[in-house]
Structure 1
């Protein structure tokens, strides 16, 4: 079955006008070529679509059914170039965004709202990953953009600082440290059981805590990769944990957040990260839109 878009346009015009002469005028052509178009279309479809005599033109039952499909096919065909142009320009398409679980505390929602406002026709697919997994996925082209923790290879990636915040200590509400009227210092933690970040899956926080707050490694009783898991362990009295300040937005029962005396007041960084080479035309537009947020 082979028919052309011109044949579909001719059929639709005749079906709507129910008159070959008026349909020909509408299409700015003469009647004989239009009649030949309809004959070729019926031959291609294999059924009679129109009943015509010297007085009138009528749609057959098959013609009625075919008219709806012809309109749909023609609408898709006519919209296709504009769609391709919008995808090519980055105005429409799909953007795959990786994010750490901790970046959901206030930042991810704000980014999604902003992208939806600036690029409403770009669909955002979300992938929760630790930073190491994001780097692997960006390298493989499985995601386009990441919300991740430094450091990054500048030869492979571009990045921009999105947010900086303090490091806090999460403790059970009944813990003696909860009554301190000052910032926690390393000496306060010498005998405390620690819920620590995984050195493999949460290397950024592991290195950050060790550099900011030197601790005895033998005090680590649990090692996990997600902040939410840490907070629930703290709520059960399993130990204390170091978390980004934004984690305080989560109302985990029986958990309080204490200031820590660190050499840098806001040492925790979150970056927007993307590959230097990408085939996704929506990525440059997304970066451009987010640049206003990151100033």
Structure 2
């Protein structure tokens, strides 16, 4: 047998007042129906909650324990409509955000601070994923937003440019490339061993680098998917690497950065991605909040 919220409210009122008459007045009802509510509640719970006689009303041990849970259930029930309204409006709920490792070098923290300030009741769950994994997560409904490289599927995904930056060459300290006094050009890199972006896990950077330095893939000694791994391999003397300018915020001992001359001065783009079919209202509120961060 189930109990009702009215029965819980009646029990809490009696537990507070320890008097059926005062509790009934508080609830704007008469005493007999209140007594019947308590009896039905005790049958539903399967335990005596109150000791009562003509002189006094007292909570039993079971009643003391049940009172705590009754108050909690009433608080949840009373707050549920407002919570539903907040979730429906996007001002409360959960945002699952994927991000590339490179986005953490500056923009991710700024984005999270903006969300925390404007949408304090929206919880954020973070996942570090390469762009391909983020796209798959958005498509499967496992992510709500992505901080990733641009995607070509404009029908399935909305996209907003957040940041542009230069592409740089990371080289071991002492490399002649760092002493040129100008941006590095493709011809300067002939014969250089390259720690290359993976054509599967980091396709965006792979295509960007090959477009600027056609020989890069031919000279690859390693292929990896993360910028930090590249920098460590450069520090170990395994070769040069092509990294976004923001990688300068990761000072790896023994590694220097110099700009690569590219047809577009700042070819590296970071986008905010979302599924156009999302049913999460918090996504649309977040996009409004983050409008100021976008460069377009």
Both structures adopt the same fold (TM-score exceeding 0.5): yes
Could you tell me which residue of structure 2 aligns to residue 284 of structure 1? 284
Deviations 1:28-50 (A, max 9, x none): 11111111111222222233222
Q: Cα RMSD between the aligned structures?
A: 1.5
Report deviation, 1:200: 1.4
Give the structure-2-normalised TM-score: 0.95
Say whether the 8 Å CA contact 2:186–2:212 is kept in structure 1: no
Could you tell me which residue of structure 1 aligns to residue 271 of structure 2? 271
Deviations 1:78-118 (A, max 9, x none): 22222222222211111111111111111111111111111
Which is worse superposed, 49-58 or 192-201? Answer: 49-58
Confirm whether residue 192 of structure 1 aligns to residue 227 of structure 2: no
Could you tell me which residue of structure 1 aligns to residue 145 of structure 2? 145
Report deviation, 1:230: 0.7
Structure 1 residue runs of 4+, over 4 Å off?
Answer: none
Aligned ranges for residues 63-142 of structure 1 at < 5 Å? Answer: 63-142=63-142
Q: Distance between the aligned counterparts of 1:105 and 1:239, measured in 2?
A: 23
Q: Distance between the aligned counterparts of 1:115 and 1:195, measured in 2?
A: 36
Unaligned stretches of 5+ residues in structure 2: none
Distance change >3 Å, CA 164–CA 45, structure 1 → 2:
same
Say whether the 8 Å CA contact 2:210–2:217 is kept in structure 1: no
Q: Distance between the aligned counterparts of 2:69 and 2:218, measured in 1?
A: 72
Deviations 1:259-293 (A, max 9, x none): 22222211111111111111111111111111121
Count residues with an aligned counterpart: 295
Q: Distance between the aligned counterparts of 1:166 and 1:184, measured in 2?
A: 12
Report deviation, 1:248: 0.6
Unaligned stretches of 5+ residues in structure 1: none
Give the structure-1-normalised TM-score: 0.95
Deviations 1:60-92 (A, max 9, x none): 222222222221222122222222222222111
Report deviation, 1:216: 5.5
